Amino acid sequence: MAKTCYYELLNVERGVSATDLKKSYRKMAMQFHPDRNPGDAAAEAKFKEVSEAYEILKDDQKRAAYDQYGHAAFENGGMGGGGMGGGFEGSFSDIFEDLFGMGGGGRGRSSRRGGPRRGADLQYNLTITLEDAFSGKEEKITIPRAEQCGDCDGSGAEEGSKPETCSACGGIGKVQTQQGFFTVERTCPRCQGQGQVIANPCGTCHGLGKVEKTKTLSVKIPAGVEDGTRIRLQGEGEAGSKGAPPGDLYIFISVEYHPIFQREGSTILCNVPISMATAALGGEIGVPTVNGKKAKVKISAGNQTGKQYRIRGKGMPILHSQQMGDMIIQTTVETPVNMTKKQKELLRAFADECGEEVSPESSGFFDKVKTLWDDLTE
Q: Using a pLDDT cut of 90, give the percent of the chain over it.
A: 37
Whether 5 has a binding-site annotation, put simply, is no
Angle between helices 87-94 and 41-57 (to 10 degrees): 80
Decide: 155 and 197 in contact? Cβ < 8 Å. no
Give per-residue pLDDT as tens, 259-292.
999 999 999 999 999 999 999 999 999 999 999 9
Q: What is the predicted pLDDT for the residue at 200? A: 85
264-373 CATH choice from 2.60.260.20, 1.20.1560.10, 3.40.1390.10, 1.10.3720.10: 2.60.260.20
3-state secondary structure 208-229: CCEEEEEEEEEEEECCCCCCCC
Confidence class for position 240, pLDDT limits 50, 70, 90? confident
Give per-residue pLDDT as tens, 330-378.
999 999 999 999 999 998 888 888 765 666 666 555 566 666 666 555 4
The distance of Cα 42 from the centroid of its chain, to the nearest Å, equals 30
Q: Using a pLDDT cut of 70, give the percent of the chain over it.
A: 80
d(CA 118, CA 122): 12
Whether 354 has a binding-site annotation, put simply, is no
Confidence class for position 27, pLDDT limits 50, 70, 90? confident
The lowest-confidence range among 45-49, 241-245, 374-378 is 374-378
Q: What is the predicted pLDDT for the residue at 355? A: 65
How many residues does this entry show for the chain? 378
Q: What is the predicted pLDDT for the residue at 257? A: 93
163 has pLDDT over 80: yes
Whether 205 has a binding-site annotation, put simply, is yes
Q: What is the predicted pLDDT for the residue at 75? A: 64
Domain residue ranges in the chain: 1-100, 264-373
Q: What is the predicted pLDDT for the residue at 90? A: 44
Q: How far is CA 66 from CA 45, 70, 77, in A?
A: 21, 4, 14
d(CA 326, CA 266): 7
Question: 281 or 190, which is more confident?
Answer: 281
Read off the pLDDT of each residue in 68-85 and give the average, rounded to a whole number. 58
In CATH, which superfamily holds the domain spanning 1-100? Answer: DnaJ domain (1.10.287.110)
The lowest-confidence range among 123-127, 167-171, 225-229, 337-341 is 167-171
d(CA 294, CA 228): 29
Read off the pLDDT of each residue in 217-235 and give the average, rounded to a whole number. 93
Tell me the residue ranges of DSSP E strands in 101-209: 122-128, 137-148, 164-165, 174-179, 182-187, 196-197
Q: What is the predicted pLDDT for the residue at 124? A: 92
Read off the pLDDT of each residue in 16-25 and give the average, rounded to a whole number. 88
Question: 71 or 131, which is more confident?
Answer: 131
Read off the pLDDT of each residue in 173-196 and give the average, rounded to a whole number. 78
Read off the pLDDT of each residue in 72-87 and give the average, rounded to a whole number. 51
Confidence class for position 135, pLDDT limits 50, 70, 90? very high
> Which DSSP state fits 348?
H
> How many helical (H) and strand (E) elements, i.e. helices and strands, does the chain have?
11, 15
139 has pLDDT over 80: yes
d(CA 267, CA 324): 9
Average pLDDT across the chain, whole number: 81
Q: What is the predicted pLDDT for the residue at 356? A: 59
Q: Do domains 1-100 and 264-373 have the same CATH topology?
A: no
Confidence class for position 106, pLDDT limits 50, 70, 90? very low
